[in-house]
Structure 1
Amino acid sequence: MKSKKDTKGRNLKLGEDQLKSGRYRYRYTDCTGKRIAIYSWRLVKTDKNPSEKRKSALSLREMIKNIEKDKDDGILTYEAQTITVYQLIRRYLKSKVTLANSTLQNYIHLTEKNIRPHNLGQMKVSNVKKSDIKNFFHICILNGILLYPQYSYIRIFFSLPFKWL
């Protein structure tokens, strides 16, 4: 079987191809069965970016290496870049089958009332910094939105999905 080559005559690996625009694409299926494509103007680290194009932070092969590492570690790279904090907390609450129904309903109410409407709830998980969460708590406590018992419940939400809290 004849292997794919790019316009510079280099062999492309399985899943890699070059588009007519000159951009490189890598397509793969994540562990949930979802088909994902990533793009870069550079195939390898040493390639130069087309002058009129925005500089790609990583070459395609570097991106692939990161994806493979994340796959080995059980990290859903694409999902982490697209899921919001609110969605993550809701997913976490759905996984807590050992909680009493009243406790779970209380957690859901706190999430809907305090986290969902706030900017933090709409942020992508991959963009959240520790300072964003601290700022959220600070604003909520100063404005009287959260009382201390509610603060401790919501802090639990953040401490488990975000281990660095």
Structure 2
Amino acid sequence: MNSDDDSSSNEGARPEEESKTKVNLTQENVKELISSLLLSVVEYLTKICVTCEGDDVADPQSVKNLMKYIYKFEKSLKKLQKIIEYSNNQSYDLGIVIKGLVKAVDEYANPYEWLYDNVVDKYLRSGEKLDDTLSIIDTLQTNLLERLQVSKIDQEKTETQLVDESTTSMG
């Protein structure tokens, strides 16, 4: 293999690939990139499995295809890892979710259950806390407005009583 043409998983990415990846990692397209890379990882992994389970495993063309798919699989995983690192640096929850999801799949857990338990429930609980907080703030605002209105009414009554007392004492 030519070191200029290919890079193995131990060598790291070429400098021009790294700069392309860094340029493409913006907040707008992170979600799009992640879904695209996840699909390509699954696609290459499926092709690797099909090739390994095929009858022509010893065929030179099958071996060549297998190596090509493994290389593309590793490349996609590296890009996905960079995006996850970028997401973590940008304080997104995407990296954490993907790492947790991969760990759940590694442990033969149902990924949908894991997502529901660790993502959906988490945000539902956060939403309930936010609703409670907003309710408290609304109650406080209502009480403050009532007190301000009552104090304004009391002040107006006091002023009118003083005016009435001053007019009766003058007359």
Is the pair's TM-score, using the shorter chain for normalization, greater than 0.5? no
* Larger Rg belongs to: 2
Structure having the larger proportion of residues in strand: 1
Higher helix fraction: Structure 1 or Structure 2? 2
TM-score, structure 2 as length reference: 0.27
